[in-house]
């Protein structure tokens, strides 16, 4: 079937008519794919340009110092757009996720709005779509947004997971990054196309991911069993945004590790499960909203299974824990009905990864974030209860030096733990060079 033409415009009654939507570059690939999904709704959308020194300068100038690092970076990136020559604030919309639990992010929407107005940029739209409001910011495209946005995040997670699995074992430096880049572009082209139905879109995303799988499988690799496997948990923005964490994953790889990074979609599953918990708590478990929430989860799970199944063999030994397992594991330390947010998810996930055979856990969090601070207090007990697995907090802040020195010490501890750990790692599957040549699927 030929690809339908890109929708070039939306009706003038649409709330985002005539605006350009900028998506924060939390994870490079996911932000690009997500922006492409918004384009399929007829919106003019793009990821924010990569952060740089100017980001930090503008972020510092327009925040008070009490905000967390992700807020400072996002503020700086948004101001850079507003200060571009000829920019018209009324034609700009910034996409912002909202937060819950002990997280300040939900407040930053108001902070940004008032700061923009204070410095004379009136009329900027802050787009903070929430399932509670039926994603009404997207007008008639709300349902399509919910489905396409989810698929975009899933695809971004899968591509990053594959990249991180093979890059430390590649024979020619740069091959895995090239395969990842080509695959992100391919998925973007697919996601930005307004396919006639969600079913057809899913088929096209699967085809695109199969092409990605083929690209990754063809990358010449030699599995190095000596490499340590390190689980990366932490605050969602800082662990995924390579600018804010100073390319932490690459630093770990250079030091002799392979990184198993927490997905973005893990957070969505946690939010879904917490939403149902709240309905139960308030006696609304049989309400129309609760039913809607269950239905949404049902379709999300269906999409997830359809896309993850393509990589079942490739990700043997890297099976992601479900939200239920994560929260169950966290319960003795931070029960999900008493402690909310990333601290609970990160504690539970650390335990799940320990049982999947990782050699250590790195928690990447912004300096001053309560989630990271609580986790740092909990981790010694978690480690003690799990054969002494090293779990180390790495804080991100523009004033901190590079992570190399701390990484060296941490990996030494991980090496010691690997010799005595009770949970062996499943041997991952890497095609042998002669099999790779014939990778047709």
Q: Is 235 in the site for ligand SF4 (CB under 6 A)?
A: yes
Binding residue (CB under 6 A) for ligand SF4 from 99, 149, 231, 234: 99
Minimum gap (Å) between residue 382 Cβ and ligand SF4: 19
CA dist list (Å): 70 to 46, 77, 238, 368: 19, 11, 7, 11
Which part of the chain contacts ligand SF4 (CB under 6 A), choosing from 17-25, 100-108, 204-212, 301-309? Answer: 100-108
CB of 96 to ligand SF4, least distance (A): 11
CB of 26 to ligand SF4, least distance (A): 11
**Which one of residues 22, 105, 138, 379 is an interface residue with ligand SF4 (CB under 6 A)?**
105
- Told to check if 24 binds ligand SF4 by CB under 6 A, we report no
Task: Please report how close the Cβ of residue 70 comes to ligand SF4 at its closest, in angstroms.
Answer: 5
| Contact pick of 70, 76, 321, 357 for ligand SF4 (by CB under 6 A) | 70
By CB under 6 A, is residue 68 in contact with ligand SF4? yes
Residue 26 makes contact with ligand SF4 by CB under 6 A: no
- Among the listed residues 104, 214, 289, 294, the single contact to ligand SF4 using CB under 6 A: 104
CB 179 within 8 A of CB 216: yes
Q: Which is nearer to ligand SF4, 138 or 237 (CB)?
A: 237
- Smallest distance, ligand SF4 to C-beta of residue 102, A: 7
Residues in region 369-388 near ligand SF4 by CB under 6 A: 369, 371
Cβ at position 396, least distance to ligand SF4 in Å: 9
Which segment (99-107, 278-286, 331-339, 411-419) binds ligand SF4 by CB under 6 A? 99-107
Q: Measured from the CB atom, is 108 or 260 closer to ligand SF4?
A: 108
Please identify, using beta-carbon distances, which residue of 237 and 260 lies nearer to ligand SF4.
237
**Is residue 103 part of the contact set for ligand SF4 (CB under 6 A)?**
yes
Q: Which stretch binds ligand SF4 (CB under 6 A): 134-142, 223-231, 258-266, 363-371?
A: 363-371
* Per CB under 6 A, 76 contacts ligand SF4: no
If the CB atoms of residues 183 and 371 are measured against ligand SF4, the closer one turns out to be: 371
CA distance 403 to 410: 11
Q: Based on CB atoms, which residue is closest to ligand SF4, 100 or 273?
A: 100
C-alpha span between 48 and 378 (Å, rounded): 35
| Binding-residue pattern over the window 272 to 291 for ligand SF4, x denoting contact by CB under 6 A | --------------------
Considering only residues 330-349, where is the footprint of ligand SF4 by CB under 6 A? 342
At residue 42's C-alpha, the angle toward residues 142 and 87, to 5°, is: 110
Size of the site for ligand SF4 (CB under 6 A): 12
Q: CB under 6 A: which stretch of 34-42, 102-110, 220-228, 404-412 binds ligand SF4?
A: 102-110
Residues 289 and 295: their CA atoms lie apart, in Å, by 10
| Beta carbons of 176 and 167 less than 8 angstroms apart | yes
**If binding is defined by CB under 6 A, does position 234 make contact with ligand SF4?**
no
Q: Which residues bind ligand SF4 (CB under 6 A)?
A: 68, 70, 99, 103-105, 235, 237, 342, 366, 369, 371
């Amino acid at each position: 079937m030929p690809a339908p033409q890109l929708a070039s415009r939306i009706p003038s009654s649409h709330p985002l008519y005539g605006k350009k939507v900028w998506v924060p570059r939390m994870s490079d690939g996911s932000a690009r794919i997500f922006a492409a999904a918004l384009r399929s709704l007829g919106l003019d959308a793009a990821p924010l340009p990569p952060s740089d020194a100017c980001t930090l300068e503008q972020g510092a100038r327009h925040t008070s110092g009490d905000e967390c690092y992700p807020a400072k970076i996002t503020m700086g990136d948004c101001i850079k757009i507003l200060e571009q020559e000829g920019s018209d604030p009324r034609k700009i919309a910034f996409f912002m996720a909202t937060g819950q639990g002990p997280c300040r992010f939900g407040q930053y929407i108001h902070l940004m709005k008032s700061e923009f107005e204070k410095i004379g940029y009136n009329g900027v739209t802050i787009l903070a779509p929430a399932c509670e409001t039926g994603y009404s910011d997207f007008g008639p495209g709300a349902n399509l947004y919910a489905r396409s946005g989810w698929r975009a995040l899933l695809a971004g997670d899968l591509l990053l997971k594959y990249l991180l699995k093979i890059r430390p074992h590649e024979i020619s430096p740069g091959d895995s990054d090239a395969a990842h880049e080509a695959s992100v572009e391919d998925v973007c082209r697919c996601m930005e196309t307004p396919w006639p139905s969600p079913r057809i879109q899913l088929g096209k995303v699967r085809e695109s991911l199969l092409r990605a799988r083929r690209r990754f499988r063809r990358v010449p690799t030699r599995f190095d069993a000596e490499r340590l496997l390190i689980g990366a948990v932490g605050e969602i923005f800082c662990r995924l945004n390579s600018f804010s964490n100073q390319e932490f994953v690459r630093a770990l790889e250079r030091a002799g590790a392979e990184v198993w990074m927490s997905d973005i979609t893990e957070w969505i599953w946690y939010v879904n499960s917490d939403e149902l918990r709240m309905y139960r708590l308030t006696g609304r478990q049989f309400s129309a909203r609760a039913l809607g929430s269950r239905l949404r989860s049902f379709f999300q799970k269906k999409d997830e299974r359809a896309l993850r199944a393509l990589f079942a063999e490739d990700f043997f030994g890297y099976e992601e824990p479900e939200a239920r397992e994560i929260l169950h594991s966290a319960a003795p330390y931070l029960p999900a009905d008493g402690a909310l947010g990333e601290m609970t998810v990160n504690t539970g996930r650390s335990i799940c990864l320990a049982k999947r055979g990782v050699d250590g856990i790195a928690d990447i969090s912004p300096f001053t974030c309560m989630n990271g601070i609580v986790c740092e207090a909990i981790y010694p007990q978690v480690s003690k209860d799990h054969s002494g697995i090293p779990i180390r907090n790495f804080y991100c802040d523009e004033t901190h030096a590079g992570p190399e020195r701390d990484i060296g010490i941490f990996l030494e501890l991980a090496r010691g733990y690997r010799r005595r750990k009770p949970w062996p790692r499943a041997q991952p599957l890497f095609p042998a060079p002669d099999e790779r040549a014939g990778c047709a699927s």
